[in-house]
Chains A and B, each alone.
Chain A
């Protein structure tokens, strides 16, 4: 019973927070969004008047002006722009909250969708899929390497590996991921040209025809961004794991296990890792969210059509609806990850059952 209450509480909390954040962002974006809308309406009215020119020939200039005003008002009313501000903001927030985004600027996002669609939801989804493909793969590999190295370092504190890992962790905390990306492109695409300079480009037909060739082609193109993200990420994961594992190894049950004569290997991978994995996963999850920003810029460097590139494109073409959609998507993801972590904690932590 306790767990269900806990989960319900956390879920409601997550939804409320999501809505409040959307409300705040909607309020902030409302002005920009309405200005775009008013600009569109003005164009529309001008066009309408142009079409009616023949019939307007015998009207005076003043009457035409009045007509223009009237048409403008009608359009404003149709879009609900004459209502009071709180209602407008609330409606905008609700539209965003329920994934009903305004259409995107046509023809600017063909690298994401391959067509000139203005369906904002589709554009964001495809970009997210691309980001997930690159970023998640890289993070999974980095997690594997990082946790393994962290364990090894924790076993031999103060040795070369341990010191090396702490140094790498500190270095990677000081390096902008995207700059490493630029450097990788410079070295491995220009000085020693073994990889392509961009991660996504037009696929030749003969490659597309052969699945195996296409696979190799994709790996070849993804190699540089993947290596970059892994290189910058694994150090801190290893460092975090090392610290957590050291903490766990000081616990009594490990000493007991060792005293019982359990082989060291089994102690590490059986007892210690099991106890250490929830905090490692939590820390890593937050680390991954943290490195998301760097990854966004890295996508622009590698011209990978993911969320970062989408953000960048939307900023440059001043497309409020896409900026809003990407923002909402990222807020949604952050809250989702946090909720999932809460859920895992709730299941793993026995105190939840009694406290709630």
Chain B
């Protein structure tokens, strides 16, 4: 039976001693910090970020390789923060009808203007009108083209969403995503192929430039990417190239047409759209054009539609900076990855430390207790295990797992490590156990007739418990560093975010200048390891009074 009162008193005593070590307290504080990050991640952050780290669809909404939002406080170059806004649509069918009618009217007026004066006069007299416009209206009426009929025909077929956006940054948003809050409902007398909505994007800049792009056969449930619409529209692209870039940007004019086209059709488009007209516009070097932008999204339903619903849209300005720690190349939130990584790192570190030390403890004590040939054999086995390098074994494990279709996980890695790493602590334990074995009370126990199991578990192991705790604390950082290192070599976790993996992704993609991606994981590794090193050192000093001063 364990006397719980005794244990309690001992713990309180131990705490009083431990409290005297500043470094131990610092370690404890760091540990609490890391644990609260780990727990906080599981409580407050969406779990998909952990379970679907590689595939979560939400990542697509974020800017890619974007620095954190707070850089704007320090940086002279200001990044666009992400924004989201819900916008209601307006039925503009009437306006459209009037516009259409006026256009037609103008056409007729122009034709009339070209006629000989005599003839015109005769016509005006025969229709009893005095102005050209009235004459044109009368002529249209005779051909059956009336404002009322057009209005009727256009009724319920046109929606306008007007996005007004004040741009006051240096680095424009990487994208804009428009999502319908509800699918569009279209009613028509005849069955209609739904995917026939025409989307018209009119991008108006503060300096008066307008860029119009059209896409036909959109769906009422699709996401709309206004920049994508412009990129896909050859007319809009050639307008940008011929009317803006070739005319005003000497640097762009020097480029061959194909290259120019690929610039406009690629990532440079947003820079062009949000830059001042001038040299270097194509690279975004002519300076940002700040002010009020209007992006009109016009939807046009097929011709025999009688009714079209007007759902609200959610406009997401993706921005060019994001969150607390920015994003990686896939738009993944690095803060989330790091916060979830904390739990994994702690779990891995503690599982490793406890297993390795416990195995070492039992193996070392048993070896020391048995002595003689058994000890010799156990020592040789120990030496062999100590010598087997872990890296090739891990490569093999990865190979076998791949051949049976299992993805490598951090538990495989740490499992292999536990199997090969206990021998180090076994060596130390054995030499300590040999000293204990020489104590008279062990001899006494043996004389009384205590069994070997009893002597090892009841009399020898308890003596080693303090050492075990100290070395467990010191083994945790080893596991965390090993895990990170192996992930970095690509021999680690493949599904969930770990700190090593986040670093590996950055290094593999050559994103070494993305400090928000490179520095935080390393700092977390350091803080977590340091917490256990501090605690371990404090324990070591308490238990090893020779080094204390």
A-facing mask of B367-385, CB < 8 A → 1, else 0?
Answer: 0000000000000100110
CA of A190 to CA of B547 in the docked complex: distance in angstroms?
43
Contact of B519 among A174, A183, A331 (CB under 8 A): A183
B-facing mask of A300-312, CB < 8 A → 1, else 0?
Answer: 1100000000011
Contact of B490 among A166, A315, A324, A335 (CB under 8 A): A315
CA of A296 to CA of B485 in the docked complex: distance in angstroms?
10
- Flag whether B136 is at the interface (Cβ < 8 A): no
Contact of A173 among B396, B477, B521 (CB under 8 A): B477
- Flag whether B537 is at the interface (Cβ < 8 A): yes
**A13 cross-chain contacts in B, Cβ below 8 A:** 380
Q: Which candidate, B137-145, B353-361, B525-533, is the interface stretch facing chain A?
A: B525-533
Q: Which candidate, A17-25, A74-82, A219-227, is the interface stretch facing chain B?
A: A17-25
A-facing mask of B388-409, CB < 8 A → 1, else 0?
Answer: 1101110110010000000000
Pair A29/B507 contact, Cβ less than 8 Å: no
Pair A170/B395 contact, Cβ less than 8 Å: no
A-facing mask of B468-485, CB < 8 A → 1, else 0?
Answer: 000000000100011011
Q: Which candidate, B40-48, B458-466, B510-518, is the interface stretch facing chain A?
A: B510-518
Whose C-beta in chain A lies nearest to the C-beta of B481? A176
**A301 cross-chain contacts in B, Cβ below 8 A:** 507
Interface size on B, residues (CB 8 A): 41
Pair B387/A334 contact, Cβ less than 8 Å: yes
Q: How far is the CB of A243 from chain B (nearest CB, A)?
A: 6
**B16 cross-chain contacts in A, Cβ below 8 A:** none
Pair B392/A175 contact, Cβ less than 8 Å: no
Pair A178/B387 contact, Cβ less than 8 Å: no
Pair A17/B489 contact, Cβ less than 8 Å: no
CA of A246 to CA of B545 in the docked complex: distance in angstroms?
13
Pair A174/B525 contact, Cβ less than 8 Å: yes
**B549 cross-chain contacts in A, Cβ below 8 A:** 157-158
Pair B391/A311 contact, Cβ less than 8 Å: yes
- Flag whether A323 is at the interface (Cβ < 8 A): yes
Whose C-beta in chain A lies nearest to the C-beta of B546? A247
Q: How far is the CB of A201 from chain B (nearest CB, A)?
A: 15
**A158 cross-chain contacts in B, Cβ below 8 A:** 549
Pair A171/B530 contact, Cβ less than 8 Å: yes
Pair B392/A176 contact, Cβ less than 8 Å: no
**A24 cross-chain contacts in B, Cβ below 8 A:** 384, 388
Pair A28/B533 contact, Cβ less than 8 Å: no
Pair B384/A17 contact, Cβ less than 8 Å: yes
Pair A327/B518 contact, Cβ less than 8 Å: no
CA of A24 to CA of B547 in the docked complex: distance in angstroms?
41
CA of A256 to CA of B395 in the docked complex: distance in angstroms?
56
Q: How far is the CB of B237 from chain A (nearest CB, A)?
A: 35
Pair B384/A293 contact, Cβ less than 8 Å: no
CA of A183 to CA of B380 in the docked complex: distance in angstroms?
42
Whose C-beta in chain B lies nearest to the C-beta of A293? B485
Pair B515/A170 contact, Cβ less than 8 Å: no
**B546 cross-chain contacts in A, Cβ below 8 A:** 247
Q: How far is the CB of A187 from chain B (nearest CB, A)?
A: 10
Whose C-beta in chain B lies nearest to the C-beta of A247? B546
Pair B389/A330 contact, Cβ less than 8 Å: yes
Q: How far is the CB of A26 from chain B (nearest CB, A)?
A: 11
**A330 cross-chain contacts in B, Cβ below 8 A:** 389
- Flag whether A294 is at the interface (Cβ < 8 A): yes
**A148 cross-chain contacts in B, Cβ below 8 A:** none
- Flag whether A32 is at the interface (Cβ < 8 A): yes
Are A179 and B522 also in contact (CB < 8 A) when A24-B388, A323-B392 are? yes
Contact of A170 among B391, B396, B490, B537 (CB under 8 A): B537
CA of A28 to CA of B398 in the docked complex: distance in angstroms?
12
- Flag whether B503 is at the interface (Cβ < 8 A): yes
- Flag whether A182 is at the interface (Cβ < 8 A): yes
CA of A148 to CA of B547 in the docked complex: distance in angstroms?
19
Pair A170/B388 contact, Cβ less than 8 Å: no
Pair A185/B477 contact, Cβ less than 8 Å: no
CA of A155 to CA of B484 in the docked complex: distance in angstroms?
37
- Flag whether B534 is at the interface (Cβ < 8 A): yes
**A323 cross-chain contacts in B, Cβ below 8 A:** 392, 395
Pair A335/B522 contact, Cβ less than 8 Å: no
- Flag whether B274 is at the interface (Cβ < 8 A): no
CA of A301 to CA of B530 in the docked complex: distance in angstroms?
23
Are A186 and B518 also in contact (CB < 8 A) when A21-B384, A315-B489, A330-B389 are? yes
CA of A324 to CA of B391 in the docked complex: distance in angstroms?
11
- Flag whether A297 is at the interface (Cβ < 8 A): yes
Interface size on A, residues (CB 8 A): 48
Contact of A190 among B396, B484, B512 (CB under 8 A): B512
Are A297 and B388 also in contact (CB < 8 A) when A28-B396, A32-B396 are? no
Residue of B389, B482, B484, B547 with most chain A CB atoms under a 10 A cut-off: B389
Are A174 and B396 also in contact (CB < 8 A) when A183-B519, A327-B391 are? no
Pair B522/A183 contact, Cβ less than 8 Å: yes
Whose C-beta in chain B lies nearest to the C-beta of A286? B424
Pair B503/A179 contact, Cβ less than 8 Å: yes
- Flag whether B363 is at the interface (Cβ < 8 A): no
User: Which residues of A148-195 have CB atoms within 8 Å of chain B's CB atoms?
Assistant: 157-158, 166, 170-171, 173-176, 178-179, 182-183, 185-186, 190
Pair B388/A21 contact, Cβ less than 8 Å: yes
Q: How far is the CB of B420 from chain A (nearest CB, A)?
A: 11
- Flag whether B488 is at the interface (Cβ < 8 A): yes
Pair B518/A178 contact, Cβ less than 8 Å: no
CA of A36 to CA of B533 in the docked complex: distance in angstroms?
44
Pair A21/B547 contact, Cβ less than 8 Å: no
Residue of B489, B490, B503, B519 with most chain A CB atoms under a 10 A cut-off: B489
Pair B489/A312 contact, Cβ less than 8 Å: yes
Are A176 and B484 also in contact (CB < 8 A) when A21-B384, A183-B518 are? yes
Pair B485/A178 contact, Cβ less than 8 Å: yes
Pair A327/B389 contact, Cβ less than 8 Å: yes
Pair A179/B525 contact, Cβ less than 8 Å: yes
B-facing mask of A69-109, CB < 8 A → 1, else 0?
Answer: 00000000000000000000000000000000000000000
Q: How far is the CB of A335 from chain B (nearest CB, A)?
A: 6
Are A190 and B513 also in contact (CB < 8 A) when A176-B481, A182-B503, A301-B507 are? yes
CA of A107 to CA of B153 in the docked complex: distance in angstroms?
71
**A18 cross-chain contacts in B, Cβ below 8 A:** 387
CA of A327 to CA of B390 in the docked complex: distance in angstroms?
9
Are A29 and B396 also in contact (CB < 8 A) when A20-B384, A21-B384, A175-B526 are? yes
Pair A17/B383 contact, Cβ less than 8 Å: yes
**A300 cross-chain contacts in B, Cβ below 8 A:** 488-489
Whose C-beta in chain B lies nearest to the C-beta of A32? B399
Contact of B507 among A21, A171, A182, A326 (CB under 8 A): A182
Q: How far is the CB of B513 from chain A (nearest CB, A)?
A: 5
CA of A157 to CA of B392 in the docked complex: distance in angstroms?
43
Pair A297/B389 contact, Cβ less than 8 Å: no
Contact of B529 among A25, A157, A174 (CB under 8 A): A174
**B485 cross-chain contacts in A, Cβ below 8 A:** 176, 178, 293-294, 297
Are A170 and B533 also in contact (CB < 8 A) when A176-B484, A186-B513 are? yes
**A21 cross-chain contacts in B, Cβ below 8 A:** 384, 387-388
**A197 cross-chain contacts in B, Cβ below 8 A:** 512
Pair B388/A25 contact, Cβ less than 8 Å: yes
CA of A294 to CA of B477 in the docked complex: distance in angstroms?
13
CA of A18 to CA of B388 in the docked complex: distance in angstroms?
9
Are A182 and B533 also in contact (CB < 8 A) when A175-B526, A190-B513, A297-B488 are? no
Pair B489/A185 contact, Cβ less than 8 Å: no
Pair A331/B387 contact, Cβ less than 8 Å: yes
Report 6 cross-chain contacts, Cβ distance below 8 Å, ordered by A residue: A17-B380, A24-B388, A28-B392, A170-B533, A183-B518, A186-B518
Knowing that A173-B477, A174-B481, A182-B512 are A-B contacts, what are 14 other residue pairs whose CB atoms are under 8 Å apart, sorted by A's residue number?
A18-B387, A21-B384, A24-B388, A157-B549, A174-B529, A176-B522, A178-B488, A182-B507, A182-B518, A186-B518, A190-B513, A197-B512, A297-B485, A323-B392
Closest 9 CB pairs of A and B: A174-B529, A179-B522, A327-B392, A174-B530, A170-B533, A21-B387, A174-B526, A157-B549, A297-B485
